[in-house]
Structure formats: structure tokens, C-alpha cells
Amino acid sequence: MPGAAEVRYLVLADCAVPYLLAAVRWPDVAQAISAATPNWLEDPGLFDLPYDPSAVTLSFPQAASVAAGWSRQLHAEPAKGAVPYMRRMPANWSDLSSSERRAWGIEFVGRRRGGQARRVPRLRLFHAKIAAPSAAAQVNGRPSAPAGAEGGPGAGVDGPAVSSRGQVAALTSGIASVATERRRHMRVRVDGRVYIRYEHTTISAGLIDLSEGGVGCVLPGASPVPARGVMLDGPFLFEAEATKWRICLDVSGRINWHLSTRTGTHFGVAFGELANGETEGVQRILAAVCRKRGHR
């Protein structure tokens, strides 16, 4: 494997929610934990995990966040005293047997979560109600600069100031694009953090808002942010204060805008196309945020 001297961290996820975290380094480290297993298990079958299409590679900070969500601390060195687990070989992580599911405490994987499916339409209805008044307020009064993942932070950020006539035209166009974006993707203010892979580093930023189309973030002070238009390979790992579980999106992204203010450097990322399970995962976290704030 490339970079064999370093431990590689991987997760398996169900609807974008990680349920297994593995630390792998050939030929001496093959350990994993899950939300249900209290201790690290040592499993030679984990050496096959990096080649499984369902596995997602994380950086150490992202993996540490997943472990923290399960009330566990991840160390840079492999865990000592991991319990050996004897399993069938070769391993097939995309089709685990019943005994393997029991060993990892992941019998639930693949089952439908009926409660979440019923709450998502309510979330859509709530955003449909707030979208029209927001756009109307911008038309009848002075518009507040829209900040979010898919739009820019407002007029004047992406280019020079324009004349009053041009400003009216730009404003009209901007309102239309914001209204279209709101119909296409629900944008919800979310308190928490996002861990973003960028080249050989991991950016840990505060969450501003999140939707199925992108995320708005903020970094403290004058922290460096990749230039506008830069592509990010992913994955993105989200931890929201409204939930105990994390969301891992194995998707690419693009920096749409960034703006330095006294409160920090704000920037927006537009996601690539999400898989069905990832879309459901984002909807779950948005629904949880709205429920916590009393939007029903």
C-alpha cells in the first residue's frame, strides 16, 4: 500500500453516518472499533478494507472526531492489547456475514430508519414557508447580503462595485438565484465543526450553514483559505452540536467564495453530486437541527 509506514484510517458508513473506524498499516496494524464495540478488535481481514469501494479514507483529525463521537480517544500510535477476532477469509466488507455483524455490533446496517423519512417532508415544508418572505424582504427593502454555501456572501465581494442601474440589475438577478437555490437545496444554520481535506492538511472550520448542495464555514482570524475555484477532493466530516453522530460525505467540493472580516475568514464550498445515502445523511442532520430549535 502507498505510504505503508503510516497508519491509514478508514470508515464504513450507513447513510453517511460512520459505523466502523479502522486503523490499517501493512503488515502489523489491522484494528477497528465501532459505536457498539467498547474496545479495539484486531482483525487480519482489515488489510482488505482499503481496497473495498465502500471504504472512505480519513485524515487523523477526521478519524479522531469519529472516535470522539463514540466517546473514545484516538491516539497516533496503534492501540495496545487489541482483542483478536478470528473471521472468514477473504474478507468481504460489502457483504458481512451475520457473525461478523454481531462481532462488530452493526446488525442495524442497511435497515431503514422510518422516523427520519417522515420528518424530512416537514423540514422541506418549513423551508418553503421561509423562502418567499425572505426574498420579498429583499425586494421591498435593502437586501441583506446572502451568506451560504452555494451563493456568494453578497454584492461587492466577487467583483468591483457597479453603478446604481447596474446594481439594481445585479440585485434582481441575485434575488432570482437565491430563490432558485432555496427551492433546490434547503439551507439551515448549523452550529458545529467541519473537517475538510485539502492536499496534505485538514482544515477544521466552524459551521455556519449546511445544505445538500454545500456548506458555509468560518475560520478564526486571518487563517489561510484555498483560493476561490479550488477543488477539494473530500471527504468532508461534519459534527453538529444537535447530534452525537457524525456525517461523512465522500464527495468533492469547490471553494465558491471567501471573505475576511473582523470575526474571521468566511468561505463557502459547493458539493459535487451526493450519493443517495449521503443525501439522506445530510437530511438527517438538518432535521435534527430543526427539531432541536423547535421547528416542527
Is residue 27 in a domain?
yes
Question: For residue 265, which of 215, 204, 219 has the smallest C-alpha distance?
Answer: 219
Give yes or no for residue 110 having a pLDDT over 70: no
Report residue 103 CA to chain centroid gap: 28
The band of 180, judged by pLDDT with boundaries at 50, 70 and 90, is very low
pLDDT for the residue 67: 96
From CA 120, how far away is CA 123, in angstroms rounded?
5
How far is it, in rounded angstroms, from Cα 207 to Cα 194? 6
pLDDT band at 166 (very low <50, low <70, confident <90, very high): very low
Each residue of 43-101: pLDDT tens digit? 998 999 999 999 999 999 999 999 999 999 999 888 888 888 866 666 788 788 888 88
CATH of the domain at 247: 2.40.10.220
Q: Residue 88: its pLDDT value, please?
A: 63
Buried b (16+ CB within 10 A) or exposed e, 214-242: bbbbbbeeeeebbeeeeebebbbbbbbeb
Of 52, 70, 104, which residue sits at a domain end? Answer: 104
Q: 30-46, pLDDT tens digit by residue?
A: 999 998 887 899 999 89
Residue 23 lies in a domain: yes
- 97 found inside a domain: yes
Sign of CA dihedral 44, 68, 235, 239: positive
Domain boundary among 83, 104, 125: 104
288 located within any domain: yes
Q: Which range of residues forms the domain containing residue 234?
A: 188-292
> Which residue did the predictor score with more confidence, 116 or 80?
80
Q: Is residue 46 in some structural domain? A: yes
Contact 280, 118 (CB under 8 A): no
Answer yes or no: is 139 within a domain: no
From the list 203, 179, 184, the residue with the least C-alpha distance to 193 is 203
Q: Mean pLDDT over residues 174-188, rounded?
A: 54
Q: Using an 8 Å Cβ cutoff, are 41 and 104 in contact?
A: yes
- In the three-class reduction of DSSP (H, G, I as helix; E, B as strand; rest coil), residue 176 is classed as helix
Among 77, 104, 131, which residue terminates a domain?
104
Q: Which residue has the cell 485524515?
A: 59
Specify if 269 maps to a domain: yes
Number of structural domains (the chain) is 2
Is residue 53 included in any domain, yes or no? yes
SS3 236: strand
274 — pLDDT class (breaks 50, 70, 90)? very high
Please give the residue that has the higher pLDDT: either 88 or 144.
88
